[in-house]
Structure 1
Amino acid sequence: MTRRILITGATGGIGLVLSDRLRDDYDVVMHGRTPRTPEQERELREADLTDYDEVRALMDGVDTVVHLAGAASPESTWDDVLGANVVGTRNVLEAARDAGVRRVVYASSNHVLGMYDRDEQWPVGPTDLPRPDSLYGVTKVFGETLGRYYHDAHGLSVLCLRIGWVSPDPTETDVELLRAMWLSEDDAERVFRCAIEVEDVGYGLYYAISDNPDRRWDVTSTMLELGYRPQDRWTDHVPEGEQVVAGGASTPDDWPKGS
């Protein structure tokens, strides 16, 4: 049977990509605030993530939740992240549990380990202790830990993707650190499909980065456990002759501002 996939935050950048590209293979339910496409004008489901009953109403018949919604900037204030990223994430997980959803794919972030990036303490991976670089990063650590609880206590499968920097064009920045953690739209589709389809994985933390030659974030578990095979590199989009900085360029002094 066709899996029903609920995408929260379907009007955001990654949400738009996944909503468009997954429609041929899944019964996609889109959640968001402001429609961005003709399909969303007709089909978008609205719900305040801080209202549990509204969130629960989204879950009927859903096999997998791709949870993207929430404040998405490391410069977000506490008021920005409290409702959307803390209360909202709890409501999504609790509603999924109550509705018998099979899996939640949680959009976490590279910012859960962002202080390693600030201090240039690479490489890093999912076994390193969290060191968030912002209140936004703190809430993503919270979401990962809450997902661990819902898996251990209730058997809900929760896969957390620590997403890098997503942009259709990696040359829109000259910050080497962002280019190194670039996740192309095609690779984003690939890694989310893997997280939706993989069997026999109950919980996990996985970096979602493209195949960049200067990548310092370990995607080994993403490849071995989820079957992810990144195919894009930011270096394929720059003029011939531009060199990768050996060992990586220095982190900007104001990191994570602007990231």
Structure 2
Amino acid sequence: MGTYNIYEGALRAGVPRVVFASSNHATGFYERDGLPVGPDMPVRPDGYYGVSKAFGESLGRFYAEGHGLAVICLRIGSFQPRPRDRRQLSTWLSYRDMAQLAWRSIETKETYGIFYGISGNTRGYWDISSAREVLGYAPEDDGEAFAAEFDPAPGNS
């Protein structure tokens, strides 16, 4: 209901664009299968939270196509100061990169889109090429800068 209120409130107030904070959990079961994931693939939520985010993306498309409200959905990864474990070397989104991604989502002329929100992670398995091409996103950080914390040199573990 809250997501509906955001879209409906924006429409009624004449706000031209909503940037919806979605989640990688909208496609979480791909990770279980070890598959790389792009924003054009069908949703595969890995829990009720992911289901709610997939619903929010679909509702956003309805408002974009049915009412002319521009909607950008960001499937946000591990948004925190630094990766906390080995997995997050792939899924990390730095504060600096999130700020840029949000700004580019606001400034784009795109009327609807789904994009993964991660930094330029060497180990990333979520495809951010459309965010680069469509939004002009140019991540500055890479989780690999923290790899030594989780992948100690041989003999040091």
Give the structure-2-normalised TM-score. Answer: 0.92
Equivalent position of 1:112 in the other structure: 26
The one-letter code of the counterpart of 1:151 is A
Q: Which whole-Å CA distance do the structure 1 matches of 2:60 and 2:150 have between them?
A: 44
Cα gap change, 1:95/1:222 in structure 2, threshold over 3 Å: closer, same or farther?
same
Equivalent position of 2:148 in the other structure: 239
Cα gap change, 1:240/1:182 in structure 2, threshold over 3 Å: closer, same or farther?
closer
Equivalent position of 1:186 in the other structure: 96
Are 1:225 and 2:134 an aligned pair? yes
Equivalent position of 2:63 in the other structure: 150
* Matched residue count: 152
SS across alignment from 1:239: helix
Equivalent position of 1:49 in the other structure: none
CA contact (8 A) 2:89 2:147 kept: no
CA contact (8 A) 1:165 1:179 kept: no
Q: Could you tell me which of 52, 67, 73 is aligned with 1:139?
A: 52
Cα gap change, 1:137/1:165 in structure 2, threshold over 3 Å: closer, same or farther?
same
Cα deviations across residues 176-206 of structure 1 (Å, max 9, x unaligned)? 222211000110001001001112x100000
Q: Which whole-Å CA distance do the structure 2 matches of 1:105 and 1:221 have between them?
A: 16
CA contact (8 A) 1:166 1:183 kept: yes
CA contact (8 A) 1:180 1:234 kept: yes
Equivalent position of 2:117 in the other structure: 208
SS across alignment from 1:142: helix
Report the CA distance between 1:236 and its aligned residue.
1.2
Give the structure-1-normalised TM-score. Answer: 0.57
Give the fraction of aligned pairs with identical amino acids, expressed as a percent: 47
Q: Which whole-Å CA distance do the structure 1 matches of 2:147 and 2:38 have between them?
A: 27
Cα gap change, 1:152/1:240 in structure 2, threshold over 3 Å: closer, same or farther?
closer
The one-letter code of the counterpart of 1:127 is D
CA contact (8 A) 2:64 2:112 kept: yes
The gaps in structure 2 that reach 5 residues or longer are 153-157
Larger RCO (CA within 8 A; separation ≥ 6)? 2
The gaps in structure 1 that reach 5 residues or longer are 1-86, 244-259
Q: Could you tell me which of 155, 162, 169 is aligned with 2:82?
A: 169
Cα gap change, 1:101/1:119 in structure 2, threshold over 3 Å: closer, same or farther?
same
Q: Which whole-Å CA distance do the structure 1 matches of 2:118 and 2:93 have between them?
A: 5
Are 1:88 and 2:14 an aligned pair? no
SS across alignment from 1:189: helix
SS across alignment from 1:232: coil
